[in-house]
Amino acid sequence: MTTRKYPHEPHESERGRETAETPAARETAKLEGKIAELESAAAESKDRYMRLAADFENFKKRARQEQLETIQHASAELINRLLPGLDDLHKALDHRPKGIDQSWLKGVELSVRKLEEALTAHGLEAIDAVGKRFDPKLHEAVGHEESLEHPEDTVVSELRRGYRIRDRVVRPALVKLARRPELPAESSSGSESVDGNPKA
């Protein structure tokens, strides 16, 4: 039986096992660290890709919205230039002379209808005015009319038709609003004397 020279020293077989296991453990730890680094880099790359994809999707949405707004703005500008001509055609039809050729009149009415349909196809719609409560976003008041039939600040007449394209007002309607008739001031003459006492 062999005795150890120094009792605290490991046996030769144990020392050999330790020296054999240490490089493998170190290599494993190294590989595990490398795997962790790669996993972290992959997660970071994926996160960056997801952010870039979301940013690009938002960019596409903004670009589409801006393009749509540009087209709508251009349409609104063109329509706004055509509206005075449409107004004149409506006035001509409203003040048609007596004895006018009916076939000619129907042709003009058809042309006006076609023009209105073309503008409607681009989103144009007339603003309801008469009988509505005054709305400064839709109506432009240019006067008042005394009325007992309508509540105050109700549109009673339309001097020029207003239009909008979807939610955007192209031109407000020129309107007159209802106003309560002023009550005549009660005359006190004849009911009291100059000194304030009733006449006998």
Domain 123-182 in this protein, CATH class: mainly beta
Model's pTM, two decimal places? 0.53
Give the domain ranges of the chain. Answer: 12-94+112-122, 123-182
CA 181 – CA 193 distance, rounded (Å)? 30
pLDDT along the chain (200 residues), means of 10: 52 52 81 89 91 90 84 78 89 85 89 90 87 89 84 88 86 89 59 49
Burial class (CB in 10 A: 0-12, 13-18, 19+), 155: buried
Helix H or strand E encompassing 69 = helix 12-94
